[in-house]
Amino acid sequence: MARNLALAALVARGGVYYNLGGSTPAEVLAEAARTVSLPKGVDREALLKAVLERESLMPTAIGHGIAIPHPRNPIIADEAEQRVAVLFLKTPVPYNALDRKPVAALFLILSANARTHLSVLAEISHLCQRGDFLDFLAGRPSTAEFAAFVERAEDGWTAGS
């Protein structure tokens, strides 16, 4: 992944949020759309509609208590405004995950193009297979802590290639 599109930078831009309310995926996503920082010109209702539309095709829960909601098509025009918001739920929510675990954390991806979107999905999915990352995530890290952890992981991938 190009360094300017690294997950750490996208999360630093998108932020980390805590105690998101809701008892269903739709309620949680509505709260997320109301809560996250958005670039100018992105309508919160349009974001919610796009994310719910995507969820109706197939839930974005990937297991381990994590979901990766995202619009099916980009809703951000400017690559410099892309972001990933990490949202921790007040109470885990049943989300139709294959492992049947309720979701406690969301990664809301807002990208400008398919290339970035797929790259970010792959990186998050890879991290979510690591026990150290899942343990780290369970501690509900701050934005700075999250970015530092992911930067170390990304640096390790670069060094290993």
Distance CA 22, CA 38 (A): 20
Query: Exactly one of 64, 70, 117, 126 is catalytic; which is it?
Result: 70
Torsion 103-131-128-34 (CA) sign: positive
User: 47 to each of 64, 76, 110, how far by Cα in Å?
Assistant: 25, 10, 9
DSSP string, 73-86: S-----GGG-EEEE
Helices and strands (H, E) in the chain, number of each type: 6, 5
Active site residue 64: no
Residues noted as catalytic: 70
